[in-house]
Each structure stands twice: as C-alpha cells, then as structure tokens.
Amino acid sequence: MLDVGRHPNIELLAYSEVEGLKGTAGEFTITVRKKTRYVEEDKCTGCGACAEKCPTVVPDAFNEGLGERKAIYSYFAQGIPSTHTIDADHCRQLNGKKCGICAKTCQADAINFDKKDQVIELDVGAVIIAAGYDVFDPSQIPEYHYTEIPNVVTAIEFERLLSASGPTEGHLDRPSDRAVLKEIASLEKQAKKSQKTLARFEEKYNESSASFYDKFQGGQYEGDEDRQKWADKYAAHLAIVEPLESLQKKAEGFTVARRLAFIQCVGSRDFRFYPFCSGYCCMHSIKEAIIAHEHEPETASVIFGMDIRAVGKGFEEYKIRGGNDSNVSYVRGRVAEISAGPDDNPVVTFEDTRERKVKNQAFDLVVLATACAPIKGMAALAETLGVALDPYGFIKTSPLSPVDTETPGIFVCGCAESPMDVPESVAQASSAAERAAEVVFQPEMKEEKAVA
C-alpha cells in the first residue's frame, strides 16, 4: 500500500465515490465525488493529537463495533493517505454545538470545518471494478441467535479480536466478559462520585455513613431533613455498590476463550440465501483456529461443516497441520441451533453425520463463517457504470474471459466478480490490469504498426 501511495504514475483518490461515467472504451469520462474529511490532507501529519483530545466517543466500524473511536479518527493504522477524518454525523461542532477542540489541538492547522465535497472529472481509457464484498448478516438465521447470545460472533469480528491492533489487543476476551468489565468501570465511576457526596456528610457529622444509616433505619433522626438527604444518598450509593461487588466477584473468574466452535456455510450453500460456496471460508476458519492456538496453547477448536473445501495448493496439508499441531478437530455435520448455556457459554446442537447422532456441546465462543455477499451499493454502482449483474448480485462477466464485463473497456476483479480468496483475487487483478492496458495502449500499437 505504501508503494501505491508513493508511485509517481498512480493518483489515489481515497474517500471518494464514482457518480457518473460516459464515453466508450479508450475515451471514458468519469465523474468522482471526493468527499470532504474536514481535514486538509496536505497539512495533516497523522499525529493523532486531535483524536486524543476529542470528547465524542462512538462505535468503531473498522473493529465491527467491538471497540470505540473518536468523532475525528484515522480509519485504521498505516492507511494511505496518513490523515484523519471527521465523522460529520457525530461531530459536535458540525452538529451546531460548541466544541472545536480538535482545531485548537492541531498544531498543523489542518482542521477546516468549512471544507466542502469536490466533484472532479477524469479522462480514462479503461475502468477496473475492484469493489470488494460484504459479509452476510447471520441474524437472518434465527436459530443461531446472533446478537442475542453475546458470545456468538462472526468470523470478521473474531478476526478483529485476534488482531494485536484490535479492541482486545489480540487477547480472546469474550464479548460477554467485556460487557461486564465495561459495566464495572461505569459503576466504579458512579461509586466514586457518590462516595465524594457521602464524604461531605461524614465530615460534617463526624460519623461513617454505614453507622449513621443503621441508626436512621432504627428510627433516629426523624424529621431531620439534612440527615434524610444523607440517608437517601447512602441508599443510592448501596444501589451502586452492591451490584458492583457482585460483578467484581464474577469478573475474578474471567479467562480468555479456550473452547472455540467454528460453524461453516452460514448463509452460503443455503437455498434460503446464497446457494453458492463462498470459497475461502473453510481456510479462513482453519487459519483463525491455528492463530488462536498460537495465542493460547490450551485452546481447542472444533470446525463444523458439511465438508472442508481445501482446494488450493498446500491447503489440504495446512488443514491436516491444524489438526495435528493446533488442537483443531473437524466435525462433519450441520449445526441446527445455538442456545444460551450457563456462564454465558453458547451450546451448539448438531448432527454428527459420521456417527449419525444428534449432540450438544458447550463452548466459550462460537464463530460464524458468514457468506461472501455483494457489496450493498453494487446495484447502484453497476447502474452508474453501465454493467450487468449476475443473479446473485455480483458483476456479470464473459464466460470466456472472467475479467471482462459486458461493457467494452470495463473490467472486474476479486470479490466484485464472485467469491474468491486472496491469491485468486491477486491473480485476477493482474489479468484485469493487462486487459485494461490493451485498451489504453491499443491506439499507440496501431500507430506503430502503421508506421512499420
């Protein structure tokens, strides 16, 4: 990515959207809206001082909502360009409130709240669509209770939990445990504030709140309004402290997730949603199980699937190595349901087709290998560019040339065309670049032949 940002022949328009395309192969004019960041890219040094001081905290989309970020933020570390963006939906200043702390903090004077979107036109010879993909929303499968059982996560969420730059710094803390710890932190803050209020009464009357409260409940100090306030404050304090102590005791037993279940084909190979195989999910789950074992040697993973499709070079050996070296086991069978068990442990109900038995097994964490779905804006993008979609919502291509769309001069690669893994996406990107080069340099080649 750094090479792309530094290449003299590559102009990178990040945070931009294509709004229109006209012309024909070799002579396209493309209209692009470059959205404003409210940050001057040429001035911003990416130091992050603005984000540190920003008072507005919102869920972090890059971390799948498992972490938090500020209203001014860098989408992810080492991104190109190395700059920050203000979230207009949550920024206090842009929503009519007094703030502007980021502008006061920025020593480079890069914050510009008056900056507007730019619409630019580019003359291009060819277009390559590399729009990526979305993941299937597993809440559409009610029997898996995604979002209802906290320790059922998607493969992308699990990927962020495994990442050293993720919300848990690579530790496999369960979402239910993290929610408890967050509640503890909130209650501790309330208890500290409440204790300060009680301290004023204790200093005034030279008595502890507990001792006073016993006397008050025994009938003393009736009609004393000041002591009535003290009693009310102490009762409210107990309403904070008692659940806090209970949660703190519960948190003493928290450990990282060690019993993992990976459920394959969630939304794919399913006629209710996507009948196709998403291709990369099996190897992705195996990779995640192996990395989890590297993080914690006591980790044991079970991968549930109708079959494991390890179709690439060395993939089958990688699968076997996972079983031999990383405590990964493979169960051939379809998971029927996930239910809530004791201690927030999800219980998986499945049919083991080899033994022909229905079984139940509890895990610390269940990971759903969700289907590869077309990006949500694919239909609008296809209409803008004048290309067709296949029945599943991916870009339709020629059966003889899988990177050629039905529109001459427009090509496609990666998961914009169909589900595929990284090696195949890279190979297809090279093919699409070669086909685009043919269009761009064809006039020059014709001139050279004519001269010869």
| In contact, 29 and 121? CB cutoff 8 Å | yes
Locus of tokens 């804006």? 377
Half-sphere exposure of 31 (CA within 13 A, CB side): 10
Residue 191: strand, helix, or coil: helix
Locus of tokens 């269009």? 439
Nearest to 348 by CA among 357, 356, 174, 339: 339
Q: Give the angle subtended at the CA of 397 by the CAs of 391 and 401, to the nearest 5°.
A: 145
Q: Which amino acid is at 214?
A: D
Consecutive 10-residue averages of pLDDT for the chain (452 residues): 81 93 94 96 92 95 92 87 93 94 95 95 96 94 96 96 92 95 96 95 93 90 90 95 95 94 96 93 96 95 93 91 96 94 95 91 97 94 95 93 94 95 93 94 62 54
Give the residues across from 28 on adjacent strands: 23, 124
| In contact, 154 and 138? CB cutoff 8 Å | yes
Write down the domain spans for the chain. Answer: 2-123, 135-173+256-373, 177-251, 378-451
Query: DSSP class of residue 396?
Result: P
| In contact, 27 and 125? CB cutoff 8 Å | yes
Which CA distances in Å does 81 have to 41, 44, 74, 287, 316?
Answer: 8, 10, 10, 30, 39
What is the total residue count of the chain? 452
Cα radius of gyration rounded to whole Å, the chain:
29
- CATH class, 135-173+256-373 region: alpha beta
Kindly state the tokens that stand for 294. Answer: 């590297």
Count CB atoms within 10 A of the CB of residue 13. 13
How far apart are the C-alpha atoms of 99 and 114, rounded to whole Å?
Answer: 15
Count CB atoms within 10 A of the CB of residue 123. 9
pLDDT in tens, 370-381: 999 999 999 999
Nearest to 405 by CA among 419, 392, 390: 390
| β 365-370/259-266 pair status | parallel
Kindly state the tokens that stand for 41. Answer: 């890219």
- pTM as predicted: 0.89
Q: Which amino acid is at 308?
A: I
Kindly state the tokens that stand for 156. Answer: 């992308």
| In contact, 209 and 237? CB cutoff 8 Å | yes
- What backbone phi and psi angles, to 5 degrees, belong to 412? -145, 155
How far apart are the C-alpha atoms of 391 and 120, rounded to whole Å?
Answer: 33
Locus of tokens 């998986």? 348
How far apart are the C-alpha atoms of 275 and 84, rounded to whole Å?
Answer: 40
